[in-house]
Structure 1
Amino acid sequence: MRLKLLSPGEMNEAQKQTYDEAVAGKRGSAPAPMMAWLNSPEMARHATRLGEMLRFNTIFPPKLSEIAILVTARHFTAHYEWFAHKRLALKGGLDPKIIDDIRDRRTPEFDDPKARMIYDVAKSLHEGHGLSQPLYDEAVARLGERGVVEIIGLCGYYTMVSMTLNTFEFGLPDGEVSELA
């Protein structure tokens, strides 16, 4: 870990307010990257609010939104992010084979056309830096404009999360070994 993470007793007033708001939210705890972001309390506050919205209040159930998050974690080889969201994807009902395929950089087979579209959009955003017109048209038809906006939000937010976790070298919990190479 490149950064000393503050305990609540070491935080200044602005940091403590942001920390307390996160703990009182739907997560019930402070997300790991927020502990680094607390060096900029206002950024931490807004980023954590956005993360809570994207995690709990998109039009997609976790089984679908976690696809975009896992594609992002894999794209950045974000070990901590992968560890955390693989568990959430499994809990949300995502097929373990799909998770393994994303981990191994294989294109998964999907029974759900929405799941396939989320995967295709996330991959295109990361690898192609946008969407071709045909993919955009198909994504809007299948996911709606709000859905496309929220997938972009998920990929963008979790890009920031992945960059934070990687830059500050967040480790996995004791005894855990990364699945990503």
Structure 2
Amino acid sequence: MRLTPLHDLTPEQARLRARLQERRGGVNGPFGVLLHSPELGSRLEELSTSIMRDAALPPRLRELTLLIVARRLDAQHSWLAHLDKGLAAGLDAAALARLARGEEPGFPRADEQILHEFVGQALETHFVDDATYAAALARFGERALVDLVVAIGGFAALALVLNTFQVDLPSGTEPPFPDVTGFRRTRRAGATS
């Protein structure tokens, strides 16, 4: 990790650390970085907890949203932390393997395919076209779409924290994305600068 390890915690940092240990069993992933800014870190942790607990999408689609964001933003740490949770929630292992390789995942469920298209457009073009929006609205409803967009932003913030501050992958794990080496994306064949 790029940041200096914290030894003497301020009262705010100590409170956040205690909350992280209680809620998450430790200070892992992006949360070690967020201790350096305990006020905003506390709010981002609260938001991510609320998204995973309260968003108007089923747990399977919450996990899928996180995994799509992780893949789109090359957040290997997030992917590793949530892959098993996504599988346990009922996501298709073969589709996730294709997603990890940067291929079209071909999700077997219509709601997963709609979600994948919606999240992909939001992250890639920063807009969602009318047809995709209409399909998502019909499938999920207005509240769930608002929650989905907030989830995309929250998960993206955590992915950027992980990658910018180069939070190491858990010991003994293999990087899940073949086109990402360390904290750099390798050039794809035919890619230009």
Q: TM-score, normalised by structure 2?
A: 0.85
Q: Does 1:18 align with 2:16?
A: yes
Contact 2:29 2:77 in 1 (8 A): no
32, 35, 41: which one pairs with 1:35?
32
Aligned match of 1:153: 150
62, 68, 71: which one pairs with 1:71?
68
Quote the RMSD (CA, aligned, Å).
1.6
Classify 1:5/1:90 alpha carbon distance in 2 versus 1 (closer, same or farther; 3 Å): farther
163, 166, 175: which one pairs with 1:166?
163
Q: Which moved more, 1:150-159 or 1:31-40?
A: 31-40
Number of corresponding residues: 178
For structure 2, which runs of at least 5 residues remain unmatched after alignment? 180-193
Classify 1:28/1:174 alpha carbon distance in 2 versus 1 (closer, same or farther; 3 Å): closer
Q: CA shift at 1:46, angstroms?
A: 0.5
For structure 1, which runs of at least 5 residues remain unmatched after alignment? none
Aligned match of 1:126: 123
Q: CA shift at 1:138, angstroms?
A: 1.7
Residues 123-167 of structure 1 deviation map (CA, whole Å, 9 limit, x = unaligned): 111111021122212211111111111211221111111111111
SS at match of 1:150: helix
Contact 1:62 1:88 in 2 (8 A): no
SS at match of 2:141: helix
List structure 1 runs of 4+ shifted beyond 3 angstroms.
Answer: 27-31
